[in-house]
Structure 1
Amino acid sequence: MEHLNNTTLLIGIKDKHITLTKAIQHDTHIEVIATLDYNPPKCKHCRGKQIKYDFQKPSKIPFIEIGGFPSLIRLKKRWFQCKSCRKVTVSETTLVKKNCQISEMVRQKITQLLLSREALTHIASKLAISTSTVYRKLKQYHFQEDYANLPEVLSWDEFSYQKGKLAFIAQDFNTKKIITILDNRRQTTIRNHFFKYSKEARNKVKVVTVDMSGSYIPLIKILFPKAKIVLDRFHIVQHMSRALKYYSKYL
């Protein structure tokens, strides 16, 4: 690994209280070591005088790409202690919200990519964050479902939004417009949702793309009797990549 010349402005950090102490180029990502420090304000609890009190254990904060590499910031925040009530507080920054581990710049990038109709899994991969983080951001938006119309080519997929839990998403395959997101992938939930559409609307669906598991195929035949079922090329490539990685161990 090599050390990089660095500056907060170069990578887009506007908080003047953050100082970069080191930037390390790894094979897969860039790691930025930084500290947050400033003169202590008055105590939030009693308005007493505070003093500086050591640093917090470094927080790992996902950040936007630097030089084409995924990046993260290991930020040490200054602790403050009140001389009157003895309570301890931690310094705050515009880089990341209080009690949050995702930088504001990454949150803004998620919004930008969602508006560009990027797939949730692609956004998560591009920003080196979990799909559940993208999903939580998406849930902040409200979109009105049109039960009178469905696209000719429909894409069905699932993604992890909590540990051990999968959600269901349906999109217009061509435009990437989200048709619906359901909190689970149970077939009864999916069936009940799509039965809200008229038979005429469902008959207009010509193609449904799915992953390689095949679990949705019987349900698709019921809901969209005139549609062809096609395996999504993304899942085919993903499956082949996993297979090649597995067999490469024995070569």
Structure 2
Amino acid sequence: MKLHKLLSAACVSVTMLVAAAPGTASAQAQNVLQVATDATFPPMEFTENGQRTGFDVDMMNALAKAMGKQVQWTDIDFKGLIPGLIAHRFDIAISGIYITPERSQVVDFTQPYFAGGLVALVKADSPIKTPADLNGKKVSVQVGTKSVNFLRDNYPKVTRVEVEKNQEMFDLVGIGRVDAAVTGKPAAFQFARTRTGFRVVDTELTKEAYGIAVRKDEPQLRDALNAALAKIKADGTYAQIVNKWFGQSNSAK
């Protein structure tokens, strides 16, 4: 009888553990935000001393904290962010993504969290003084970014050199393989500040805003992120992050 009771008790314990396991996993999953980025775009997101860092990384971590959640990061090439999001590989993409009509057709965006725009980075002694001077020149752009279609549609006389990584764009300018790189304003100014011999053309090509992308079937997640964004703006966290990465003189919208 004792053996029978022990076996019965053991069976009950195992059954309870099995029943509890899915609930526990589900609770853990609900507490984690699956977020993807391409950490090759300083100062927005990059790796330093083996650690992921940058404005977007701090922003996402602050939003998650405001939502009472943790972040599980996925690193992926920029061109794979929107397709990966749609394919349910992750639930959020934050990686210096401009809110565009084309992207908004397939994914939803949060409210804009920072003002940006496309600019041209050139060597300090370059004859390129205005965006119009790009015509007839070789210009590097990153695959999957707005720069590709923007130059195609607005600067048909530009020869585009498409590369996989943000750093490759700048490297090609440095070695003289291209005349300019067209990229997001924060990355271009960061590069010009930290490397001698480069400058950003004064006139911006576009004025745009960055947003956080989510799937269209997740409106509640979009709304929760918007609520968290409003919260960190109200409590001063947002301003601290902006000042850390861009200084007080930079305006964010």
Q: Based on CA coordinates, which of the two structures has the bigger radius of gyration?
A: 1
Pairwise same-fold verdict (TM > 0.5): no
Greater relative contact order (CA < 8 Å, ≥ 6 in sequence)? 2
- TM-score, normalised relative to structure 1: 0.25
Instruction: From the two aligned structures, give the one with the greater strand fraction.
Output: 1
Compute the TM-score of the two structures, normalised by the length of structure 2: 0.25
